[in-house]
A and B are shown apart, each in its own frame.
Chain A
Amino acid sequence: MNSRVQHKLDELRRKTTMGKTADSPITANKAAKPDGLSMAIHSQKDAEQFLAELSAIRKRRTAQ
């Protein structure tokens, strides 16, 4: 990894609460709005197929 990027990542991590909700965060969150992807996932089967395709892309790329 580029050393400038590594430095920025390290800097960000130093300021980051990991693995649990931050003690004093910042401001409250609002639920994400549904978007187009939800509208194209109609069933468990669609979702499983979508995730399997995503996983296959990752595996193919990793193997390259």
Chain B
Amino acid sequence: MFRIDLGNAYDALSSSITPEFSVAEFVAPQKQGDPVLMRVRIEPYGDPLLPGVYNLSMGPLDENGGINDEVRLRHHDSARVYSTAILFALAFLTEYPDASIGLDGSNDIRANLYHSMFLLNRKVLSEYFYAVGVDWYVKLLRDQQDVERDRDGNPFFKPRPEEFDYTRTRTDLYRYYILQLKSN
């Protein structure tokens, strides 16, 4: 696992920070082969019901100019790559301090990555950010025999954010991770 060091982030080739769409690009050397052009993107969460919530994604560019966040890369220095993304998140939140930046932990690999990052880098991250974890919960009905369900009969999950609980290990992952700018 990697240690975040914001002072050791890669230099951005260029970047743009706006409320609608923010992006930074940098070059990340690989263990084998050519360096890869990486993009970090922060943009409003796709749900109009959630103003002020932004999504961060990172990866190499795909053939359509979007981010390929599925590809597995072998970075020469993963710590620098993630430090670069977090530095950009800090730059964004410094401009828009009321915003929240989300990291989607909907698959186990990513959730593990974010959870480990928060646990291992508690000290450095807590210098600049408040960390939030989001669980899904389902309501137990009053008859205590069943849970609330949607029209299709699936459990009706709702999000429940809480201050990141550092006693929770990677066997108890959150579903979503959020960074907020720490007030000084």
Contact = CB atoms under 8 A, between A and B. Distances in A.
Interface of A: 1-2, 4-5, 7-9, 11-13, 15-22, 24-44, 46-47, 49-51, 53-54, 57-58, 60-62
Given A42-B156, A58-B180, A37 B41 contact: no
Interface of B: 6-9, 11-18, 20-21, 23-25, 39, 41, 43, 45-47, 49-53, 55, 57, 61-62, 64-67, 87-88, 90-91, 94-95, 100, 102, 104-106, 127-128, 130, 132, 134, 136, 150, 156-163, 175-176, 178, 180, 182-183
B16 A17 contact: yes
Contact of A21 (B15, B16, B67, B159): B16
Given A21-B18, A29-B41, A40-B158, A16 B91 contact: yes
Contact of A26 (B7, B9, B16, B176): B16
Given A8-B9, A36-B105, A18 B95 contact: yes
B100 A54 contact: yes
A58 B50 contact: no
A16 B65 CA distance: 20
Nearest to B126: A61
Given A21-B18, A32-B57, A36-B105, A8 B7 contact: yes
Contacts of A31: 46
A30 B47 contact: no
Contact of A41 (B50, B62, B182): B50
Given A8-B6, A12-B88, A19-B17, A27 B65 contact: yes
